[in-house]
A and B are shown apart, each in its own frame.
Chain A
Amino acid sequence: MITTKLLMIDDEESFVSALSKRLALRDIEVVPAHSGQEGLNKLDEDPSIEVVLLDVKMPGMDGIETLRLIKGAHPIAEVIMLTGHATFETAIDGMKLGAFDYLMKPCEIDELTTKLDAARKRHQEHLDKILEATGKQLRGQRAR
């Protein structure tokens, strides 16, 4: 079973901890972060993070701003927006900014895992392409 490494950014700590335990059962390793800035720092520290679950409505830096910064620093990290109903439009805006998908809070665990899986796969594809390109480059260098 492939383990997914997930960064979860949400100011609701009990939500993060409850969800983390459940996801851990489903072979998903969760790195918790409780603010946008903390999430960005964790992302910088750990390049193995594949997918980000990002709450839209947070005190301080909100989800959209965080997303913009993530996409700037880590373009191939896939981001799933987690939204309350009231911020539904914002989540759509997030997708325009390059988020992979969005989910309504509270969410079904199966739906979440499905989406996480899809996101991880896409991240993997990107990664493979990059590796392939790097490989080609390396091979080209050797041939010369």
Chain B
Amino acid sequence: MNSSEKTTDSYYRSLTRNIVLIIVGVSVVPLILITLTIRHFSQTSYQDKVIEHLQVLNKKHKQNIDSFLRERLADITVMKDSYTLDQLANNDFLKEKLQSLQKNSSDALVDLGIVNDQGIQIAYAGPYDLKRAHYAEAPWFKEAIQQPSYISDVFPGLRGIPHFIVAVRGSDNGRQWLLRATVDFDKFNSLVENIRIGETGFAFILNKKGEFQTKPRTEVPPLKDPYLNFLSPDTRDNEQEGIVSNSQVDGKGVIHVMSRLKNGDWVLAFQQTESDAYKALYLVRTVSVLIFFVGVIGIIVVAVLLSKRLVKRIRQADQEKEMMTEKFIEAGKLASVGELAAGIAHEINNPVAVMLEEAGWMQDLITDAGPESIPMVDEFQRSLAQIKAQGVRCKQITHKLLSFARKTDPIPKKVNVNDITREAISLCEQRVRSGSVKIQAQFADGLPTIRVSPSEAQQIFINLINNAIDAIEPKGGAVKISTRQEGDFLVVDVADNGPGIPSYVLPRIFDPFFTTKPVGKGTGLGLSICYGIVKKLGGDISVNTAEGMGTTFHVKFPIPKAREEKTGH
């Protein structure tokens, strides 16, 4: 591989690379943008949807829990308002009331008790033996006695299991007493415990101290800050419900949804890991990433294959163009050489004519004066004859040069190739009459006519036949001329059985002034004239030769299409 091929190779390689980059760039960049945009918007809207859903859920449950607590409070408030302390202090009465309450509220209340202002439970109905229990020191009592109604945090209390109480304050002759009821912790817990979202989502209730008011389903992460912040007095005025905050737990995003319960004493919290909440989104994301990469790989493969094919075609086209350019250069070379030759021939022709006339004049003078009177007359005669002979040789050369460039009757006519060829043969036959050369003609019948200038066509055949005769002349042989039709072309073959054209000569035979004949025999213009004429007609001239096997020239003339022929006449 030479260096120019290397450079063209690298040119086509970089062309391929550029096309691939352009195709990939143009298709992948919008793909990336679209994917990112869609991904962003779908993610945002999906997250909004999920959070909104969680907020609605949270709100609904908050209302449920609030109404549960309100109902329990209402139960005992009605009881306190309906009956006197004396009635309620009766254990049996209280038991009866408890049973009816439990019936109405589906066992949400575990027990009932009446506590006097000393903190002593004076009456009790329920499964535990808590009559005469002293609550004076219990924190709930201290608070409850201050307020008309009260709901406590969850505490183990005397019974040792977590529970909480609701209490209303009544007064009897200026003495405060409390009607308290214990809420079934399991019942209350189930309100919250059953709230489950996805795999990791669950709900729980915290009080201000960060203590669980329900049994959390799973271990709640240590960070309770968001909830405590939410409940802190600073944000209390802020009426916002369902605040969502995201935090990181063990490297995982967690969503918190919160709302206040019990006048802001408790917080109902939802907690779910992001990966769970956005599970569907992540699935879509994974699938879209997969599709994206498959698409990109597809684009790259197609781009590479496509541009390779494209560049292959471009390369072919370039090569064809190069060949065409070479042919044009060849034709241009012929034309300019022709013009040059014509100019030179014309300029030389006149001086040669003068020289010949002067030589003739000298000969005339010798003849006139009588050859005997001139010393060395023989030498003069010989010299003049030589001048004349060389002058004639010059004349022949200039005439051939002029015929190379001159515009012979260029008007194309409808001609029969056989007729033209026959004429050319008859013109050349004078040369072979004496020699041992035979000319054989083999014409096909019924050939279509072609449109050429008869004089030009004849020039071609005379040149070719003369060349053929020259090739076989010393030894003798045969020149075979045949005509035939080959597709859209008429072909005339001029074959000889001479020595053939040596391969080192072959590439140059159509070059102007190239000749293998001895000096004075050939001008080297015959074949280039033929070449020029045939190419001008849109035909072709080619040669088959092998050393020792003879040479065949094929001249191809295009057959005019029927329609063109009609308009031509």
Binding site for B on A (CB under 8 A): 12, 14-15, 18-19, 21-22, 25, 57, 84-86, 88-89, 104-107, 109
Binary interface profile of B, 384-414, with partner A (CB < 8 Å = 1, else 0)?
0000000100010011001101111100000
A62 to B429, CA, bound (A): 38
B350 touches A105 (CB 8 A): yes
Q: Known contacts A15-B350, A106-B391; is A85 also within 8 Å of B364 by CB?
A: no
Given A21-B361, A22-B357, A25-B364, A86 and B346 contact (CB-CB distance below 8 Å): yes
Determine the chain B residues whose CB is within 8 A of the CB of A18 once the complex forms.
Answer: 354, 357-358, 360-361
Contact A15-B354, Cβ < 8 Å, known A86-B345, A109-B360: yes
Contact partners of A89 in chain B: CB under 8 A: 407-409
Classify chain B: how many residues form its interface, as a range. 20 to 34
B345 contacts A106, CB within 8 Å?
Answer: no
> How far is it, in angstroms, between the C-alpha of A14 and the C-alpha of B361 when the chains are bound?
12
The listed residue (B342, B356, B368, B408) touching A106 by CB distance below 8 A is B356
A106: chain B residues within 8 A (beta carbon): 349, 352-353, 356-357, 391, 395
* Given A85-B345, A86-B345, A89-B408, residue A105 in contact with residue B364 (CB < 8 A): no
* A85-B349 in contact (CB<8A): yes
Which one of A12, A104, A109 contacts B350 once the chains associate, using CB atoms below 8 Å?
A: A12
Chain B 324-356 against A: per-residue CB contact (8 Å), 1 yes, 0 no?
000000000000000000100110011011101
Which one of B357, B361, B368, B391 has the greatest number of beta carbons of chain A within 10 Å? B357
Interface hub of B342, B345, B350 (most chain A Cβ within 10 A): B350
Is there contact, CB below 8 Å, between B357 and A19? yes
In the assembled complex, the CB of B479 is this many whole angstroms from the nearest CB of chain A, namely 27
B357's partner among A15, A25, A88 (CB-CB below 8 A) is: A15
- Shortest Cβ distance from residue B388 to the other chain A in the assembled complex, whole angstroms: 10
Q: A86-B342, A89-B409, A106-B353 are in contact. List 7 more A-B contacts (CB 8 A).
A: A12-B350, A22-B357, A22-B364, A85-B398, A85-B406, A86-B345, A86-B402
Q: How far is the CA of A84 from the CA of B405 in the complex (A)?
A: 13
Determine whether the beta carbon of B361 is less than 8 Å from that of A22: yes
Shortest CB-to-CB span from A73 to chain B, Å, is 28
Measured CB to CB, the nearest residue on chain B to A26 is B364
Name the residue on A nearest B355 (C-beta).
Answer: A106
> Closest approach, in angstroms, between the C-beta of B411 and any C-beta of chain A?
11
The reply to whether A85 and B399 form a contact with Cβ atoms under 8 Å apart is yes
Contact, CB under 8 Å: B357 / A84: no
Q: List residues of chain B with CB within 8 A of the CB of A109.
A: 357, 360
Across the two chains, which residue of chain A brings its CB closest to B455? A89
Which one of B353, B368, B405 lies within 8 Å of A25 (CB-CB)? B368
Would you call B406 and A88 a contact (CB within 8 A)? yes
- CB neighbours (8 Å) of B352 from chain A are 106
Bound CA span A89–B354, Å: 23
Closest residue of B by beta carbon distance from A110:
B360
Question: Are B350 and A86 closer than 8 Å at their CB atoms?
Answer: no
Q: Assess whether A22 is in contact with B354, with CB atoms less than 8 Å apart.
A: no
Chain B residues whose C-beta falls within 8 Å of the C-beta of A104 in the assembled complex: 399
How many angstroms between the C-alpha atoms of A106 and B357 in the bound complex?
A: 8
Q: Could you say which residues of chain A place their CB within 8 Å of the CB of B358?
A: 18
Q: Closest CB of chain B to A83's CB: distance in Å?
A: 10
Closest partner residue, chain A, to B349 (CB atom): A84
Distance, CA A25 to CA B360, complexed state (A): 11
Contact: A22 with B360, CB < 8 Å?
yes
Query: In the complex, which of the residues A12, A21, A57, A86 contacts B353, with contact meaning CB atoms closer than 8 Å?
Result: A12
